Amino acid sequence: MTPSQKRFKIVSILILFVALLQVVGGVFLLVSSPLAAGMRVSLGGDAAYDGAIAAEVIGVLALVVGLYCFAVGVTGARAANNPRATGKFNMLAVVMVLASLVQVGLGVTTGQVGWVEVLLAVLGVVAIVFGSKAHSEALDR
Protein backbone atom coordinates (compact mmCIF):
# COMPACT_ATOMS: atom_id res chain seq x y z
CA MET A 1 0.00 0.00 0.00
CA THR A 2 1.46 3.33 -1.07
CA PRO A 3 1.59 6.35 1.27
CA SER A 4 -1.21 8.02 -0.70
CA GLN A 5 -3.41 4.97 -0.27
CA LYS A 6 -2.66 4.95 3.47
CA ARG A 7 -3.59 8.64 3.78
CA PHE A 8 -6.74 8.01 1.78
CA LYS A 9 -7.69 5.10 4.05
CA ILE A 10 -6.99 7.10 7.22
CA VAL A 11 -9.16 10.00 6.03
CA SER A 12 -11.91 7.55 5.07
CA ILE A 13 -11.80 6.01 8.54
CA LEU A 14 -11.94 9.50 10.06
CA ILE A 15 -15.05 10.14 7.95
CA LEU A 16 -16.56 6.97 9.44
CA PHE A 17 -15.98 8.16 13.01
CA VAL A 18 -17.19 11.71 12.37
CA ALA A 19 -20.26 10.34 10.58
CA LEU A 20 -21.07 8.32 13.70
CA LEU A 21 -20.78 11.54 15.72
CA GLN A 22 -23.14 13.17 13.23
CA VAL A 23 -25.71 10.39 13.68
CA VAL A 24 -25.45 10.62 17.47
CA GLY A 25 -25.81 14.41 17.28
CA GLY A 26 -28.88 14.04 15.07
CA VAL A 27 -30.46 11.69 17.61
CA PHE A 28 -29.63 14.15 20.41
CA LEU A 29 -31.31 16.95 18.48
CA LEU A 30 -34.39 14.83 17.77
CA VAL A 31 -34.89 13.91 21.42
CA SER A 32 -34.08 17.47 22.56
CA SER A 33 -31.16 16.33 24.66
CA PRO A 34 -29.03 19.00 26.33
CA LEU A 35 -25.99 17.09 25.05
CA ALA A 36 -26.76 18.41 21.55
CA ALA A 37 -25.53 21.84 22.64
CA GLY A 38 -21.98 20.49 22.71
CA MET A 39 -22.14 19.75 19.00
CA ARG A 40 -23.25 23.26 18.01
CA VAL A 41 -21.30 26.52 17.97
CA SER A 42 -23.32 29.67 18.57
CA LEU A 43 -22.74 32.45 16.08
CA GLY A 44 -23.84 35.08 18.59
CA GLY A 45 -26.34 36.64 16.19
CA ASP A 46 -29.96 37.47 16.82
CA ALA A 47 -31.65 34.57 15.07
CA ALA A 48 -35.44 34.62 15.24
CA TYR A 49 -36.77 31.09 14.78
CA ASP A 50 -38.81 28.43 16.52
CA GLY A 51 -36.07 26.47 18.27
CA ALA A 52 -37.98 23.20 18.59
CA ILE A 53 -38.93 22.99 14.92
CA ALA A 54 -35.45 24.04 13.76
CA ALA A 55 -33.86 21.44 16.04
CA GLU A 56 -36.11 18.71 14.65
CA VAL A 57 -35.41 19.63 11.03
CA ILE A 58 -31.68 19.89 11.62
CA GLY A 59 -31.76 16.66 13.67
CA VAL A 60 -33.46 14.68 10.90
CA LEU A 61 -31.07 16.14 8.33
CA ALA A 62 -28.08 15.35 10.56
CA LEU A 63 -29.29 11.77 10.95
CA VAL A 64 -29.77 11.24 7.21
CA VAL A 65 -26.53 12.95 6.21
CA GLY A 66 -24.63 11.12 8.95
CA LEU A 67 -25.78 7.75 7.64
CA TYR A 68 -24.89 8.80 4.10
CA CYS A 69 -21.44 9.97 5.23
CA PHE A 70 -20.93 6.64 6.98
CA ALA A 71 -21.60 4.89 3.65
CA VAL A 72 -19.13 7.27 1.94
CA GLY A 73 -16.48 6.43 4.56
CA VAL A 74 -16.99 2.70 4.00
CA THR A 75 -16.75 3.19 0.24
CA GLY A 76 -13.56 5.24 0.66
CA ALA A 77 -11.94 2.69 2.95
CA ARG A 78 -12.66 -0.03 0.40
CA ALA A 79 -11.53 2.14 -2.52
CA ALA A 80 -8.21 2.77 -0.78
CA ASN A 81 -7.38 -0.91 -1.32
CA ASN A 82 -8.09 -0.60 -5.05
CA PRO A 83 -7.44 3.03 -6.00
CA ARG A 84 -8.30 2.48 -9.66
CA ALA A 85 -11.94 2.30 -8.57
CA THR A 86 -12.19 5.71 -6.88
CA GLY A 87 -14.65 7.15 -9.39
CA LYS A 88 -17.69 6.02 -7.41
CA PHE A 89 -16.15 7.35 -4.20
CA ASN A 90 -15.42 10.75 -5.73
CA MET A 91 -19.04 11.14 -6.84
CA LEU A 92 -20.33 10.13 -3.39
CA ALA A 93 -17.83 12.42 -1.65
CA VAL A 94 -18.87 15.44 -3.73
CA VAL A 95 -22.49 14.87 -2.67
CA MET A 96 -21.29 14.49 0.93
CA VAL A 97 -19.48 17.83 0.81
CA LEU A 98 -22.54 19.53 -0.70
CA ALA A 99 -24.87 18.00 1.91
CA SER A 100 -22.54 19.11 4.70
CA LEU A 101 -22.42 22.62 3.30
CA VAL A 102 -26.24 22.70 3.13
CA GLN A 103 -26.27 21.75 6.80
CA VAL A 104 -23.80 24.52 7.58
CA GLY A 105 -26.02 26.97 5.69
CA LEU A 106 -29.09 25.89 7.66
CA GLY A 107 -27.10 26.23 10.86
CA VAL A 108 -26.10 29.77 9.94
CA THR A 109 -29.77 30.71 9.43
CA THR A 110 -30.65 29.37 12.90
CA GLY A 111 -27.67 31.02 14.58
CA GLN A 112 -25.79 27.83 15.46
CA VAL A 113 -23.39 25.91 13.26
CA GLY A 114 -22.44 22.32 13.96
CA TRP A 115 -18.69 21.77 14.04
CA VAL A 116 -19.28 18.19 12.89
CA GLU A 117 -20.79 19.36 9.59
CA VAL A 118 -17.84 21.65 8.93
CA LEU A 119 -15.42 18.83 9.77
CA LEU A 120 -17.24 16.45 7.40
CA ALA A 121 -17.05 18.99 4.58
CA VAL A 122 -13.31 19.47 5.13
CA LEU A 123 -12.68 15.72 5.40
CA GLY A 124 -14.67 15.18 2.20
CA VAL A 125 -12.48 17.61 0.27
CA VAL A 126 -9.30 16.10 1.74
CA ALA A 127 -10.52 12.59 0.87
CA ILE A 128 -11.22 13.62 -2.71
CA VAL A 129 -7.70 15.04 -3.02
CA PHE A 130 -6.02 11.97 -1.52
CA GLY A 131 -8.26 9.63 -3.50
CA SER A 132 -7.37 11.39 -6.75
CA LYS A 133 -3.69 11.26 -5.89
CA ALA A 134 -3.88 7.52 -5.11
CA HIS A 135 -5.83 6.97 -8.34
CA SER A 136 -3.24 8.76 -10.47
CA GLU A 137 -0.41 6.84 -8.76
CA ALA A 138 -2.22 3.56 -9.48
CA LEU A 139 -2.59 4.49 -13.15
CA ASP A 140 1.13 5.29 -13.38
CA ARG A 141 2.09 1.81 -12.18
Number of domains in the chain: 1
Would you put residue 33 in left (φ > 0), alpha (ψ -120 to 50) or beta?
beta
Say what the pTM is: 0.84
Helix (H, G, I), strand (E, B) or coil at 45: coil
Domain hosting residue 129, numbered range? 3-38+47-140
In 3D space, the residue among 43, 56, 139, 61 whose CA is nearest the CA of residue 100 turns out to be 61
pLDDT-flagged residues of the chain (< 70): 34-54
2-39 pLDDT, tens digit per residue, is 888 899 999 999 999 999 999 998 888 888 776 666 66
In degrees, to the nearest 5, what angle opens at C-alpha 85 toward C-alphas 82 and 89? 110
**Integer angstrom CA distances of residue 52 from 31, 57, 83:** 10, 9, 44
Residue 48 is predicted with a pLDDT of 47
> What local confidence, expressed as pLDDT, does residue 11 receive?
95
